[in-house]
Amino acid sequence: MEFDLTSGIAILTRTPLALRGLLGGLGPAWTDATEGPETWSPFIIIGHLIHAEHTDWIPRARIIRAQGADRRFAPFDRFAQIEQNQGKSIAELLDTFIEMRAASLATLAGWRLTEADLALEGIHPEFGAVTMRQLLATWVAHDLGHVAQVARVMAKQYREAVGPWRRYLSILDR
């Protein structure tokens, strides 16, 4: 499927509300649960999405749009959220994510990107030249991957409790 800005924005708009619907009002048994050592809980995942909102998608898109002499992206710290969000509640994180995403989408809409804009390039620290189109498509896929991750982490909390039905629930063994 080719990236389409309008349908991509439709997903980006829904992600924070979907996650609030899934996690809002739940206690730590759900929000702090993991899949095992060195895996992420829904709480950490929401923090990661906030950090990406702050340092990744729109900041990198700005670099691409500027087409300045230095189009290199700063490296992304995939673990910054672990320390940044200590002492916060899941409700606070969900509220922050909703606010930040709304601001990001307002910025994106204000740019009125054209096909030519989507073809502009920036320089990723690992991949080299990447286009605005690829960055925005990645943003959408990244959101969906983390929505799936949250659901998987939560489902695995009942891995043993489901008894013999486990063989029909492939999410429990991924």
Using one digit for the tens of pLDDT, what is the confidence trace for 6-65?
999 999 999 999 999 999 999 999 999 999 999 999 999 999 999 999 999 999 999 999
What pTM does this model have? 0.93
What domains appear along the chain, each with residue ranges and CATH number?
Answer: 5-173 (1.20.120.450)
Report helix, strand and coil shares of the chain as percent, to nearest 5: 65, 5, 30
Segments of 44-173 assigned E as strands = 121-124, 128-131
